[in-house]
A = this chain, B = another copy of it.
Amino acid sequence: MYRNKQLHSTTVSILLAVSGLLMATTAFTAGSAPHQSLDHSIVSAEIENTAILLRERALLDNLSVDIVESLTTEVGPRRIGTPGDKRAIAWAQDKFRQLGFDRVWIEEVDLDRGWIRGDAKAAIVSPYPHNIVLTALGYSVGTEGDLVGEIVEFKTLDDLEAVPEGDSLRGKIAFVSYSMRDYEPLPGESNMAGYGKGTRARGRGHVIAAKRGAAALLIRSVGTDTNRYAHTGSGYGYVDGVEKIPAAAISPPDAILIQNMLRRGKPVTLKMNLTSKITGPTRSANIIGEITGREGSDEYLVLGAHIDSWDEGTGAIDDGAGVGSMMAAAALIAQMEQRPRRSIRVLLFAGEEIGFYGIRSYIERHKNDVHEHIMGAEVDGGGGRIHTLTSGVGKNALPVVREIYKLIAPLGIEWSDANDAKGASDMSVLGKAGMPALDFAQNPNDYFDYHHTPNDTFDKIVPEDMRYLTAAYATFFYVAAELDVDFRR
């Protein structure tokens, strides 16, 4: 139930009228359906009205955007284990407290390895001299001085893998030129298929190339843009018994340039120099902020995002947008006169980018209280609006979730009947461990143009979209926290 001390009944009427107006605007803006009537035996009229007010207030509130601005300005890049990561952990605790969260704490995360990015330089030596824009893939070794080799192109990772193991690429630089931008999903494939194919080469390419004698791996950046940035990202690590070779991504225009040179039939020789270095164990933390439920704290809904980012941009869309929308959604609920029935926790995970370090540590620590996690969702796809909600809940709970959904449908959100959600990104680990989950699928906007590049900066956030995103989470999770439902059943 939502009561604001400043609100009298007249004010409520005015606000409801305004909210009706806003809903019309909302429906117009999002091209979506108008208000749907609720079954008041599932969601009471009081909760419904309060939820509508919350939603409309959230649509006018820039808090989620302000949080991203704060994180990207005051902290900036925050790759796990770096000074930026430490600043981010302090920042997040301060921000939770400023926003009125009831409990704030960290849970330490141990890392078996650290990494220094160093510098990355490359140039075509012949047939035509050119500087090449490239970036080391995460946890790549360096080149130990200049590495000079002839480039051998493979259109896909499969083509590279088709070369027999042994010495055939000895001294050569294997170049996988696969372009996510140009990939068209096959019938039945998801829109993410193009990214998945790219991350295969990013993750395993260096091992496959090394087994064939290659001196280094280059990939065309995994992204949808043609800007002259390289997209970094995580490899799956080195394998014992296989030579550790350097791995780097080059910008799309440089990939095209090299392909155009190769088309002329002359050998293309590259000189590259990476000063990257794998270092010893280090430490980070998951940061948790709780809005404690008025009926106690032993059950909680969880809203996830990851606090770490890659290190060349300021991590605005990946995943400042998640941090901003999740913190703001819970904070907007905390601004209400009373706490909802059950608790809401915002979980900011460490080290998502390098392989789910934070969530893996979290689940180890919380393996005996997964059942306390009533339901969860994560934002890790930028600040775009939600287009579809898919639940992953028990059969009895499904009509309840369907009913709550009606309150966010006017934000332009469709309903999917699949009920097979496991939760996005980190949260999928909890989903697979049995936690009921929700997938709020978002418009990607230009996510894969920017992510993992120096160009992932605050100006790429679209404020209106962030407000829509935040309003959906605040509204949905307020109602879910208010109802006494077991979402598992």
Contacts and interface: CB of A to CB of B under 8 A. Distances in A.
B128 A257 contact: no
A454 interface: yes
A257 B73 contact: yes
B69 A260 contact: yes
Contact of A253 (B226, B252, B257, B457): B457
Interface string A245-284: 0000000110011001100000000000000000000000
A76 interface: yes
Contacts of A133: 454
Interface string A126-152: 001110010000000000000000000
A425 interface: no
A434 to B, nearest CB: 41
Nearest to A69: B260
B257 A457 contact: yes
Contacts of A130: 76, 314
Nearest to A133: B454
Copies in the complex: 2
Chain A: interface residue count, which band? Answer: 20 to 34
A455 interface: yes
A412 interface: no
A261 B314 CA distance: 14
A253 B459 contact: yes
6 contacts: A73-B128, A73-B260, A73-B261, A226-B460, A228-B453, A257-B314
Interface of A: 69, 72-76, 83, 128-130, 133, 226-229, 252-253, 256-257, 260-261, 313-314, 453-455, 457-460
A453 to B, nearest CB: 8
A232 to B, nearest CB: 14
Given A73-B257, A314-B257, A227 B128 contact: no
A215 B275 CA distance: 33
Contacts of A72: 257
